[in-house]
Amino acid sequence: MPLGDHLRELRRRVMWAALGILVGAVVGWLLYDPLLGAMTAPLEVITEQGREAALNFGTVGSAFDLKVQVSIFLGLFISSPWWIGQLWMFVTPGLTRRERLYSLSFIISGALLFVAGGTMAWWVLPHAVEILTSFTPTMALNLMDARTYFTFFMRVILAFGVAFLLPVIMVGLNFLGVVSGRTYLKAWRWAVIGAFVFAAFANPLPDAWSMIAMAAPICALYFGAVGISFLRDRRVAKRRAAQDAADAAAGL
């Protein structure tokens, strides 16, 4: 494909992806109030326990600004299958049929793992808010900036969603022939340390057990990716051995 046609196709895919994100943001705008209720539910629990907790909007327009930002954030998540599909359709014309199936499987598995990581963070966050605010002295109020509070939620969800994409990246590098399964296995100690360090920084709870509970799935996904890489390496080695035997029989 000529460069001009390639750039025009890229522009077309970007425009369709942006339109999908815009539609998702509109849906996110409609879902803002239920999401607001879910995120502020821990504050209601704190109030029921006899402690004061409330959100503060510092300026006249901060509530509207926050709603726009959260709507766009939701729009990116809601429309992710659409804009990832646009990216996939831009790339697939240059791939073989088998490579298209591989890329599609990576996209689907990546989306599922991203949602799984975000779901795990969503399960932890209400408990984290309750525990962290319990350290507030009895004579003080938990008056939190609304933007900071929602940013805290979204960053933790995003961090764990991205962390759960690790095995997809590992298997993708293995399928490209960049890293072997044996190399991954040799680095398992560093991978486990990295998982626990990441969980220690990203985990909003102060106890060690929640850190272990978050690091354990990441380690399990790492070793799962190692196993898939080993199976793929073994299959490639058998295919090469058979090809070499065929070439030797043919006198090549």
Over residues 105-149, the pLDDT tens digits come to: 777 787 788 778 888 888 888 877 877 777 777 777 777 888 888
Examine the pLDDT at 96 and tell me if it is beyond 80.
no
The residue assigned the tokens 């408990």 is 127
Residue 31, helix vs strand vs coil: coil
List the chain domain ranges.
Answer: 1-112+133-148
- Distant-in-sequence, close-in-space partners of 24: CB < 8 Å, separation ≥ 6: 74, 75, 76, 77, 78, 79, 82
Predicted TM-score (pTM) of this structure: 0.71
- Specify which residues 142 forms β-bridges with: 53
**Which CA distances in Å does 44 have to 112, 152, 175?**
31, 18, 49
Alpha helices in 92-207 (DSSP H): 97-133, 146-163, 166-175, 181-186, 188-202
Say how far apart CA 235 and CA 104 lie, in whole Å: 21
**How many other C-beta atoms can be found within 10 angstroms of the C-beta atom of residue 111?**
16
**How many other C-beta atoms can be found within 10 angstroms of the C-beta atom of residue 129?**
25
Over residues 159-212, the pLDDT tens digits come to: 888 788 788 888 878 877 788 888 988 988 999 999 898 888 777 666 677 778
With 0-12 / 13-18 / 19 or more C-beta atoms within 10 angstroms meaning exposed / middle / buried, residue 92 is: middle
